[in-house]
Homo-oligomer: A and B are copies of this chain.
């Protein structure tokens, strides 16, 4: 972090607004802080699910679905397919939004797809230690990286192979995504 950048800003309520913003003391420039979008996919292959073991912080060594921050200039679908290429060297076919989760604690919205492999093959990308298929009963539940990985795997299981209903929201017991990691 940069003191060069940060010292010029203070939190105050700009004229005509109703909440605190980061405002430059010199010029009044407002640095809006916005929630960030994570895009990702539950990839099913013959009833098994593809998981990546994280090579990077946070939660290095733990298992997750291929997912990451959406970039400017792409769609949610393009972002989800890019993340699978980067993390699992996998070429996905998406068949719909499986879940939209809010992690209010982190200022994060997750748009997660149901997907299959568009062409065979996968491998660990630079951000993964390992990429594997797991049968449902072999999923390493105690070694999943994030609560939302639990949530979306169960949503995937419940959806079966049929048409997707409305995407799941957060589970009732963590409706605002405010629980810490241990609350998975």
- A-side residues, CB < 8 A to B, are 1-5, 8, 19, 24, 26-29, 31, 33-37, 69-78, 96-97, 100, 102, 104, 107, 109, 111, 163-167, 169-170, 175-177
Contact (Cβ within 8 A) B8 A29: no
A74 nearest CB neighbor, chain B only: B104
Which of these, B2, B70, B104, contacts A35 with CB under 8 Å? B70
Check B35 against A72 for contact (C-beta < 8 Å): yes
Contact among B4, B24, B72, B109 for A70, CB-based, below 8 A: B109
Q: Which residue of B lies closest to A159 (CB)?
A: B166
CB distance from A127 to the nearest CB of B (A): 11
Q: Which residues of B contact A26 (CB under 8 A)?
A: 2, 4
Q: How far is the CA of A29 from the CA of B75 in the complex (A)?
A: 26
